Chains A and B, each alone.
Chain A
Amino acid sequence: MIKNRTDLMGRFIPDVLVDPLLLNDPLLEFTSAVVVNKTSIHCNRCGFNCEKTKCKLPNEIFYCPNCIEMGRIDTSMKLVTVPETNDFMIPSEILTWKGNLTSFQRDCASKIITSVQHQRNHLLWAVTGAGKTEMLFPVLKWAIKHQKRIAIASPRVDVCSELYPRLQAAFSNLDMVLLHGKSKEQYRYCQLTICTTHQLMRFFHAFDLLIIDEVDAFPFVANVNLKFAVTHARKRDGQTIMLSATPGIKLREKVIKEHGDVSYLPLRFHGHLLPQIKVHLSRNWRMKLTKKKLPKILIKMCQHNIAIGRRFSLFVPQIKDLAVIDQILQKELSGKKVWDCVYSADSERMAKVQAMRDHDVLFLITTTILERGVTFPDIDVMVLGADDPVFSTSSLVQIAGRVGRKKTRPTGNVDFFVGSYSGRIRRAQSEITIMNRKGMQLKDGK
């Protein structure tokens, strides 16, 4: 039960969750949760439209089946909000981060501030490992100082969990809150919110500045309802900053068409180029897998990596492949088990990623969930079945981008095992080549 008015500020909460005493507060504003039209219903929280025959409760009540996981809302309910007042205590020292941006990073950072000051949206297109988070620090500092309410949202929960401690360290005097489906943290009214894009459904005209990290990632990229949530979570006169290493041409064109700005950084923070993908043909790997066999070269690489203590991630197309590969490796690799498997619905997902971070395991076998946002500084990557359609061009570029993230080891190996070449792999390789060419030009001051 929500008892305090501040907990409703900029929020979009079903009235049944609000203390009845608070519901009499004159500052509360109400919107129908679900609107009934002639043949369909419209959900005001997620924007979903549903045929009336497919979402009917007894007694002529209709509910939204789309956002039901956030707690069912129906036509008998209202969504409650209190207008945002931006009443924040600004710490005297805002940015406590003592690092320095490279001149290229500074350039992008100031372009972002200029966009926001001119009320324009911005797309920061910067290669994996360019230091996107750090490039946000100047605009965050500016926005905090100017009493703006800010959200940093990502479609990926792992990205949020990784961003949160980094931001806490960089803005150590600022109160911030991390919200996602699996987090135990309670909602708190803070100037800075870090959350999954799903959580934005619970906000209404809250944020002056809404930053979306990994804007081209699933599920945000294909989900109109999440885009709907973004529009109601942001204030009408607020700005959106989108971050991506692999924005598609459509997104780039859309930003420009809607009078936004695009900034571009093809060079990594340490000034080294992106590692290129090496492809190994391994015909019928899928059939061999059903016979409990892996490509010999893959096993050899695993053995080699274990021998020299090289950390790596092995990506596979399907969750169901994990157990099979796990089994084969247990047979093929002698000695102690030095790896773990992790997938999206894994109940120990967070703990396993942390174990990798803490060097408790040497490598992880995983699916596309760890393709982006999650950084293990000193790893190689392998992809088994990189020709599977589950790996889009941007997925492949992202996966390759996991490598060489450490200043002291700015390169590394990216090995793809495929049944046959796919257009997606070729495009990923050429994208990396183009980025590297542009990166070279930038470095040479051309």
Chain B
Amino acid sequence: MCEKCRQLFSPIDQTTACPGCGRKQKQPRLCEDCQIWQTRHEPQLSNRALFPYATVQEYMGRYKFQGDYELRKLFQKQFQSFILAHATGVLIVPIPISEKTLAVRKFNQVEGWLEGLSYQKVLEAESRDGLPQSRKNKRERMQLKQPFSVRNDWKQRLKNRSICLIDDVYTTGTTLHLASDLLYSFGAKNVSSITFAR
């Protein structure tokens, strides 16, 4: 990527981002959405995000939805150093995609960025019927049932572990909250998350 293009992708300022979801803000206080999560969800999830969604929307369209896997390389380095800067000594767990989605897309967009980094495939996703997340409205998304399960070989190994979930986009936070619930139910000590965009 040339310098001119690189400048189009300006990361979220972490010193002022929302401490709950990691969205870009002028003041580092809990945003409205996170205040709602606070009332209905325990424990709190703390998410860090690299880019504002609007900044990477077109990129995501081409990489994830059109499936131009080659584009993973554009942000591998930057995203991996972002992860390492905010999550040390924890188990790195990418959010999985369902078999059905994988059969069409033929890659996991999160794992594409993590190439070369050490991470663990702890979770698997059940194939959901009906619409994909990205085609639902906010309300429909927030009512989602648990779509994840822990892989058999990890069921006994999560006790007292600190885990950092990695996902592509934090939209309503439902996906990440559900995944963290699951990990806590298997005895995880602490679950945080990092997303490419918010």
A interface residues with partner B (beta carbon < 8 Å): 16, 54-59, 61, 63, 65, 68-69, 72, 74, 76
Contacts and interface: CB of A to CB of B under 8 A. Distances in A.
Nearest to A56: B69
Interface of B: 62, 66-70, 104, 106-107
B69 A63 contact: yes
Contacts of A56: 69-70
Task: Describe B's contact surface by its main secondary structure.
Answer: loop
Contact of B67 (A16, A54, A59, A72): A72
Contacts, number: 28
Given A58-B106, A58-B107, A63 B66 contact: no
Contacts of A61: 106
Contact of A65 (B70, B104, B106): B70
Closest 7 CB pairs of A and B: A72-B67, A57-B106, A68-B66, A57-B69, A58-B107, A68-B68, A57-B107
> Could you say which of B62, B66, B70, B107 has the most chain A C-beta atoms within 10 Å of its C-beta?
B70
A74 B107 CA distance: 13
B122 to A, nearest CB: 19
Contact of A68 (B67, B104, B106, B107): B67
Nearest to B115: A58
Given A58-B106, A74-B106, 6 more contacts: A54-B70, A56-B69, A56-B70, A58-B107, A65-B68, A68-B68
Task: Describe A's contact surface by its main secondary structure.
Answer: mixed
A76 B104 CA distance: 11
Contacts of A63: 67, 69, 106
B106 A59 contact: yes
Contacts of B62: 68
A74 B103 CA distance: 12
Nearest to A53: B70
A35 B61 CA distance: 26
A404 B166 CA distance: 62
A74 B68 CA distance: 11
B126 to A, nearest CB: 21
A345 to B, nearest CB: 11
Contacts of B106: 57-59, 61, 63, 74, 76
A69 B66 contact: yes
Contacts of B66: 68-69, 72
A59 B68 CA distance: 15
A68 B67 CA distance: 8
A55 B70 contact: yes
A115 to B, nearest CB: 41
Contacts of A69: 66
Contacts of A55: 69-70
A393 B67 CA distance: 39
A244 to B, nearest CB: 33
